[in-house]
Amino acid sequence: MTPEPIALYCVERMNDFREELPSDIREKQRMAVRAHNRRMDLLIVVFFGLGFAAQEIIRACALSLGIAILIADILFVIYTMLVLIPRADWKYCLKIEFVCPSCSKPLYYQSSAFGPKSSLITRGACPHCGYSFVTLSSA
């Protein structure tokens, strides 16, 4: 009996090659994740801060201004999440030299958009070209 495709996908997602990555790659991956998380934390604070400010403006009988601030807040968050943060992650990877030696593209990307973990962690490979950073030992 062959396993179901979904089961194979789950088994693949359980693999974790973090400990088998070279130490410099592992440390740079942690730095990139921390920098990304700081950016997201700042975005959350700004989002809720503007939301609360808009709420207070609406309570002060300036309904149209408050709604305009809420709409601008939502558009700002969407633009920041889809454009500014990935661009900043890309630049940060280039700055700390967290790039693939094969294709010269950054090794970090927002894994939550493509699954629970990045391919660097699940397969030990570049998310762009598939270059492997680990050597599998034969059993």
**Backbone phi and psi for residue 107, each to the nearest 5 degrees, phi listed first:** -90, -10
Task: Say which residue, 119 or 91, is predicted with more confidence.
Answer: 91
DSSP label at 115? S
Contact yes or no for 131/102 (Cβ under 8 A)? yes
Work out the number of other CB atoms within 10 angstroms of the CB of residue 126: 21
Contact yes or no for 103/129 (Cβ under 8 A)? yes
Contact yes or no for 56/131 (Cβ under 8 A)? no
Could you report the per-residue pLDDT of 20-38, keeping only the tens digit for each? Answer: 778 888 899 889 989 999 9
Res 115: pLDDT = 55
Res 135: pLDDT = 65
Q: Is the pTM of this model over 0.85?
A: no
Mean pLDDT, the chain, as a whole number? 80
The percentage of residues in the chain with a pLDDT greater than 70, rounded to a whole number, is 75
CA distance 90 to 104: 11
Could you report the per-residue pLDDT of 97-130, keeping only the tens digit for each? Answer: 988 888 888 888 765 555 556 667 667 788 788 8
